[in-house]
Amino acid sequence: MQSVALSQLVPIIITYFAISEHPWTDIQVLPLALMMLIIFIVWHHYAIGIFYLRWFPNIIDTIIPFVVSIGQFFLVSYLTIRTSLLDIDMGRWTVGFAIFLVVGSFAYFAAAWRIEADLFFWLSHCIHAQQRIAPHVADLISDSSYPFGVFPDAHVQATFCQIDR
């Protein structure tokens, strides 16, 4: 959904830079920049969640991304430029942004409420394993007889991020 929000925002940004005489000093650049930031932060949150967090999804986990995306689409709709920069509805965008922040915080708290501390055990173990093996990997990479990223010892590769349970 982030790609759809981004595809709606990019033409607006292009139009903004084409119309604006001073694009970096106009106040209208602020909501455009914040919208880009929102899209990237939401994508980052879900990407990190997919990589590191595990739980069984329920209906709330299905609804939240759609609510967040609908909020993004509304925010982008307030930034539409038809003929001049005055077409950007800063008042409604600001109110929508405040509502989006509140809804986004509910999404964050819903995820934080369901996260268990045991989910992070393997992550900290993996980080410690990476720190232990990093000097050996650096030696392998600097050795010109091995291609980049190929480990001559299968044991080194297998223990790079092994989980002890």
Least confident of 10-19, 86-95, 101-110, 133-142: 133-142
Give, rounded to a whole angstrom, the gap between the first and last alpha carbons of the chain.
Answer: 37
pLDDT band for 36, please (50, 70, 90 cuts): very high
| Residue 160 binned pLDDT confidence (cut-offs 50, 70, 90) | very low
Average pLDDT over residues 107-136: 68
According to the model, what pLDDT value does residue 32 have? 92
Distances in whole angstroms, Cα of residue 20 to Cα of each of 8, 9, 27, 132: 19, 16, 11, 54
**CA dist., res. 72 & res. 106, Å (int):** 15
Task: Give the integer Cα–Cα distance in Å for 136 and 151.
Answer: 10
Burial of 100 (0-12, 13-18, 19+ CB in 10 A): buried
